[in-house]
Amino acid sequence: MAKRSKSPDKPSWVTHTEDEVEQIIEKLAKEGKGSAQIGLILRDQYGIPSAKIVSGKRISKIMKEKKLYSKLPEDLFNLLKHAVRLRGHLEKNKRDAHSKRGLEKAESRVRDLAKYYIKKGSLPADWKYDHERAKLLVQE
C-alpha cells in the first residue's frame, strides 16, 4: 500500500507561486480582512483552493509572520461583534425576548471561548468579558 503525503499536490490550474500567495494574503490582511475572509477570496477570485497546498503554511501563520494577525482570535472577535450588535438591538427593542436569549447565549459562548484561549495562552490570564470593553474593541 502506497504511503499518502500529508498535503495533496498543488492543482494544475493554480498558477500562483508561494510568494504571490503570501503577497495576496498580506495585501488583504492590510485591508482589514480576517483569515476566513481571505480564504474565501483566494478561492473565489484567485482560484486557489487552499493556501496551505500552495505555500505550505496556513493563512493565519502567514499573517502572524508578517505581524498582521489581530490581538484577539478571529472567532472570539466575531462573537464579540455579534454580542455588541445584539446589545444595541436590545437597547432599542427592550421587549424582544428572542434576542435577549440570543445575547445570553452569545455572551456565554464568549466566556467559554475566552476560558479556552486563556488556557491555551492566546489571551492574558486576567482577561474578562465586559460589554463596554467589547464595544470599544469592536469599534477599533
Tell me the C-alpha distance between 140 and 138, whole Å. 6
Return the pLDDT at 46.
92
Return the pLDDT at 5.
47
Specify the amino acid at residue 111: R
Residues, the chain, total?
Answer: 140
If we measure between CA atoms, which residue out of 8, 48, 7 comes closest to residue 28?
48
Per-residue pLDDT for the chain (140 aa), expressed as one digit of tens each?
554 445 567 788 888 889 999 999 999 999 989 999 999 999 999 999 999 988 889 999 999 999 998 888 999 999 999 999 999 999 999 999 999 999 999 999 999 999 999 999 999 999 999 999 999 988 86
Return the pLDDT at 7.
53
